[in-house]
């Protein structure tokens, strides 16, 4: 059910969890009752895939979160799923918490390196653990992707008291099939015990499970709930009724749809008026060069992708309606984000997928696209539509891979303008939740064991307008994954991508004027770049970042357009 919510504002006079103790005490006294916290994460959703960011996809509930809450336009994650989620739930850098690289992409030279285990290690305490310690009920439903080999890696061992978890990074959206011949069956647990997957579409199922947890919980205690969707992660599948809404929506093709998204962004002030839409990637053919059959298949594929986003939005509406019916919505802070940008890769030619398609009788005929026995990828052409004006996609530390929607919903947090356009990152979410709950991070020791301190900081002052940004103009925040690196400071960004994407050297961009990363200023502003490089070197040393050999990388080849008619 789609809902319109009327808020009764409550007062949240809060400050960051890195403030002085006496200020923290006054914050805790102001939070009576302490707010519920609902964290909702979409999987591989591009910056431009929701209505408020220019999309034609029907997302009224997400648009409501943005219009009645806060919209962050410079929020950054890591460029892939599990490293982002590791930092999201701990506030600790991925090279320290165990996800220096993804488990799926762990290479021989990573063996034995601290911070490169490929699962969430015990050196970082989770926000769920800390909120549970101060009396919160802690619920988790959906994708985990932070460890599955042993029970000690399950969400039930990481602070979540009630869980229904897909342990893998992805799965069939209708049944228990896995993603390829290497993972033919997906693994699900409930409260730490292996279970068979119930029937139902993934987003509907995960929402049902979470609502059951909230409904069965102690009404006298606040809750922290983590709703972790697998939509719109591949395989691209959706309920038929949702697909039907978009049957004709993409017949004009990716060039026209991308251009219209960009013009909507301009009309709402999301991008500078003088900014031009970057040219289509050389690896994407012009739409009018495709055959009629290719166009029909591609339009249908994007219709299914849009249906996944539409259905995700409808399930968010279900949760909001439930909370309103229970009288809990006004005292719930809802945070929605994507874990990274859109995924451009079509993996269907790889042996593990070919074997899987044959074993499971995959049917990708046009009329069957989106069904449980189909298996589609969004592909490069449509992924560029999801990124719109931003450079690149998932796996890359360019803006298209890391700048994602962040919406924070509670009217009491909005003081004037509801758009926040300064830098913030996924590392800041755990500190923000701790501040809202009046909880403290233990620093360097938790329950007698050493842990890493927080890297991020609370966004609460920035949210409420008490400060104009979360970071000072000379503070830098850096990231690294797969040998690619980035560093942000104020309006500046340093970026080093590996070959074959770009020559492996540092470039400099001014994101305030050039969010598309089109103009390299490293030659004209060498002093600024040198400052950034010095700060990056300190980050690399402090977090145990390992240089990747030049001859290995997780994704060495550019994605190419693959026709479904071949």
Backbone phi, psi, residue 226, to 5°: -115, 105
Average pLDDT over residues 38-48: 98
Average pLDDT, the chain: 91
pLDDT for 562 equals 75
Average pLDDT over residues 71-97: 97
Q: Which of 17, 76, 81, 173 is labelled catalytic?
A: 81
Orientation angle between helical segments 379-387 and 254-267, nearest 10 degrees: 10
Active site residue 17: no
The most distant pair of C-alpha atoms in the chain lies apart, rounded to whole Å, by 68
Separation of alpha carbons 402 and 80, rounded Å: 8
Please write the tens of the pLDDT for every residue from 217-228.
Answer: 998 999 999 999
Strand pairing of 177-180 and 183-185? antiparallel
Average pLDDT over residues 193-220: 96
Q: Which of 17, 76, 95, 145 is labelled catalytic?
A: 145
Average pLDDT over residues 91-118: 94
Decide if 135 contacts 199 (C-beta within 8 A): no
pLDDT for 29 equals 29
Separation of alpha carbons 433 and 90, rounded Å: 11
Torsion of CA 239, 245, 251, 255, to 10 degrees: -90
pLDDT band of residue 412 (cuts 50, 70, 90) is confident
Find residue 224's DSSP bridge partners.
37, 138
Find residue 480's DSSP bridge partners.
485
Separation of alpha carbons 469 and 467, rounded Å: 6
Alpha helices for 218-361 (secondary structure H): 240-244, 254-267, 292-325, 351-359
pLDDT for 92 equals 98
Q: List, as one string, the DSSP characters of 85-131.
A: HHHHHHSS-HHHHT-SS-GGG--GGGTT-TT-SSS--TTS--HHHHH
Separation of alpha carbons 4 and 14, rounded Å: 27
Active site residue 81: yes
Please write the tens of the pLDDT for every residue from 516-564.
Answer: 999 999 999 999 999 999 999 999 999 999 988 877 766 656 666 777 7
Separation of alpha carbons 463 and 548, rounded Å: 37
Which of these, 4, 133, 98, 102, lies nearest to 439 by C-alpha position? 133
pLDDT band of residue 11 (cuts 50, 70, 90) is very low
Per-residue CA distances from 86 to 91, 94, 143, 394 (Å): 8, 6, 12, 17
Residue 281 has pLDDT above 90, yes or no: yes
Collapsed DSSP state (helix, strand, coil) of residue 263: helix
Which of these, 224, 104, 232, 105, lies nearest to 155 by C-alpha position? 224
> What domains can you pick out in the chain, each with its CATH number?
35-542 (3.40.720.10)
Separation of alpha carbons 142 and 300, rounded Å: 27
pLDDT for 557 equals 62
Average pLDDT over residues 267-288: 95
In whole angstroms, what separates CA 2 from the centre of its chain? 23
Cis peptide, bond prior to residue 177, ω within 30 of zero: no
pLDDT band of residue 416 (cuts 50, 70, 90) is confident
Separation of alpha carbons 163 and 226, rounded Å: 9
Which of these, 202, 61, 223, lies nearest to 142 by C-alpha position? 202
- Name the least confident of 25-29, 167-171, 332-336, 438-442: 25-29
pLDDT for 556 equals 56
Find residue 445's DSSP bridge partners.
450
Collapsed DSSP state (helix, strand, coil) of residue 183: strand
pTM of the model: 0.93
pLDDT for 6 equals 29
Please write the tens of the pLDDT for every residue from 126-164.
Answer: 999 999 999 999 999 999 999 987 778 999 999 999 999
pLDDT for 555 equals 63
Residue 87: partners with Cβ closer than 8 Å, 6 or more residues away: 77, 78, 93, 94, 97, 99, 426, 427, 455, 456
């Amino acid at each position: 059910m789609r809902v319109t919510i009327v808020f009764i504002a409550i007062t949240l006079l809060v400050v960051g969890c890195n403030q002085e103790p006496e200020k923290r005490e006054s914050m805790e006294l102001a939070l009576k009752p302490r707010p519920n916290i609902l964290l909702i994460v979409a999987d591989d959703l591009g910056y431009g895939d929701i209505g408020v960011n220019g999309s034609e996809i029907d997302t009224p509930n997400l648009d409501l979160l943005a219009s009645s809450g806060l919209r962050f336009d410079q929020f950054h994650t890591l460029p892939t799923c599990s490293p982002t989620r590791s930092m999201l739930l701990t506030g600790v850098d991925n090279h320290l918490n165990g996800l220096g690289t993804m488990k799926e992409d762990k290479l021989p030279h990573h063996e034995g390196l601290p911070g490169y285990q490929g699962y969430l290690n015990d050196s970082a305490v989770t926000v769920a653990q800390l909120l549970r310690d101060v009396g919160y009920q802690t619920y988790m439903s959906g994708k985990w992707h932070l460890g599955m080999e042993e029970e000690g890696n399950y969400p039930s061992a990481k602070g979540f008291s009630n869980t229904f978890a897909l342990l893998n990074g992805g799965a069939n959206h209708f049944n228990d099939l896995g993603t390829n011949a290497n993972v033919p069956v997906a693994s699900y647990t409930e409260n730490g015990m292996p279970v068979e997957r119930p029937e139902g579409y993934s987003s509907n199922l995960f929402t049902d499970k979470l609502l059951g947890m909230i409904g069965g919980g102690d009404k006298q205690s606040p809750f922290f709930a983590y709703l972790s969707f697998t939509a719109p992660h591949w395989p691209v599948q959706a309920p038929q009724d949702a697909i039907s809404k978009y049957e004709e929506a993409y017949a004009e093709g990716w060039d026209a749809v991308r251009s219209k998204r960009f013009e909507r962004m301009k009309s709402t002030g999301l991008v500078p008026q003088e900014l031009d839409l970057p040219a289509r990637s050389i690896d994407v053919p012009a739409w009018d060069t495709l055959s009629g059959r290719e166009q029909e298949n591609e339009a249908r594929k994007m219709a299914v992708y849009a249906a996944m986003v539409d259905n995700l939005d409808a399930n968010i509406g279900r949760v909001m309606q439930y909370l309103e019916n229970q009288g809990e919505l006004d005292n719930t802070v809802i945070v929605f984000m994507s874990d990274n940008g859109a995924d451009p890769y079509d993996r269907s030619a790889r042996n593990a997928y070919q074997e899987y398609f044959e074993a499971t009788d995959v049917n990708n005929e046009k009329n069957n696209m989106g069904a449980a026995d189909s298996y589609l990828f969004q592909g490069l052409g449509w992924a560029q539509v999801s990124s719109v004006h931003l450079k690149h996609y998932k796996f890359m530390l360019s803006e298209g891979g890391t700048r994602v929607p962040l919406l924070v919903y509670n009217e009491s947090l909005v003081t004037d303008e509801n758009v926040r356009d300064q830098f913030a990152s996924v590392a800041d979410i755990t500190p923000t939740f701790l501040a809202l709950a009046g909880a403290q991070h233990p620093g360097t020791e938790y329950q007698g064991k050493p842990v890493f301190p927080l890297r991020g900081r609370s966004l609460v002052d920035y949210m409420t307008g008490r400060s104009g940004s979360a970071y000072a103009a000379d503070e830098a925040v850096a990231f690294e994954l797969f040998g690619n690196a980035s560093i942000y400071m104020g309006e500046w960004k340093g970026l080093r991508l590996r070959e074959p994407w770009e020559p492996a050297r540092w470039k400099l961009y001014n994101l305030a004027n050039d969010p598309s990363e089109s103009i390299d200023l490293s030659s004209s502003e060498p002093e600024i770049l040198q400052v950034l490089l010095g700060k990056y070197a300190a980050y690399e040393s402090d977090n145990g970042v390992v240089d990747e050999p030049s001859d290995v990388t997780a994704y060495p080849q550019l994605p190419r357009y693959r026709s479904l008619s071949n």
